[in-house]
Amino acid sequence: MKKEWIKAIIILPFNVLVTIPVLILYFSGYRYVYNNLYLIILGCLLLIFGLRLGVLTMILFNNTGKGTAAPWAPPEYLVIKGPYKYVRNPMITAVLSVLLAESLLLNSPEIFCWFVLFFVINSIYFPLFEEKQLKERFGEEYLEYMKKVPRWIPKFTRK
């Protein structure tokens, strides 16, 4: 399973968060221009939040789901605890937080455009493909989960 995790991390978040932004900056002729201090602070907070959430969700997928986020090694069990109690796609929330942080810290409108494009791609992909696969794999359990937990915007309720 360790090999599958390394493969999943390199192919998925590493490419989205490192490879593609580096290529965007390289081909756009990027030159750093100092950003507003408040935006830098916001970028640091988003980076810390996104990295922490990403690591937590990967650990949950491994320990609870017994799999990875990758389609070639999906979890065997539906993960509905931790951040998954509040939002169905906290891994994407983590990636979006880091991309937004990168755009703020590097003062890069090009990376911000990649952030928007990545969100749009996932907004199409999840309902059309991933959610259908999850319904097939987990059946009624996933349908109930979908009713209770929103896709993108966390729902915090008192118990």
pLDDT in tens, the chain (159 residues): 567 777 777 788 899 999 999 999 999 999 988 889 999 999 999 999 999 999 999 889 888 888 887 777 788 899 999 999 999 999 999 999 999 999 999 999 999 999 999 999 999 999 999 899 999 999 999 999 999 999 888 877 754
Cβ-Cβ contacts under 8 Å for 109 (sequence gap 6 or more): 103
What percent of the residues of the chain are helix, what percent strand, and what percent coil, each to the nearest 5?
70, 0, 30
Asked whether residue 155 is assigned to any structural domain, the reply reads no
Q: What pLDDT does 48 receive?
A: 98
Q: What pLDDT does 47 receive?
A: 98
Domain that includes residue 66, residue range: 2-148
Asked whether residue 128 is assigned to any structural domain, the reply reads yes
Asked whether residue 156 is assigned to any structural domain, the reply reads no
Asked whether residue 111 is assigned to any structural domain, the reply reads yes
For the entire predicted model, the pTM comes to 0.89
Q: What pLDDT does 1 receive?
A: 56
Q: What pLDDT does 117 receive?
A: 98
Asked whether residue 48 is assigned to any structural domain, the reply reads yes
Asked whether residue 158 is assigned to any structural domain, the reply reads no
Buried b vs exposed e over 120-130: b needs ≥16 C-beta within 10 Å? eebeeebeeee
Number of domains making up the chain: 1
Asked whether residue 157 is assigned to any structural domain, the reply reads no
Q: What pLDDT does 158 receive?
A: 52
Asked whether residue 63 is assigned to any structural domain, the reply reads yes
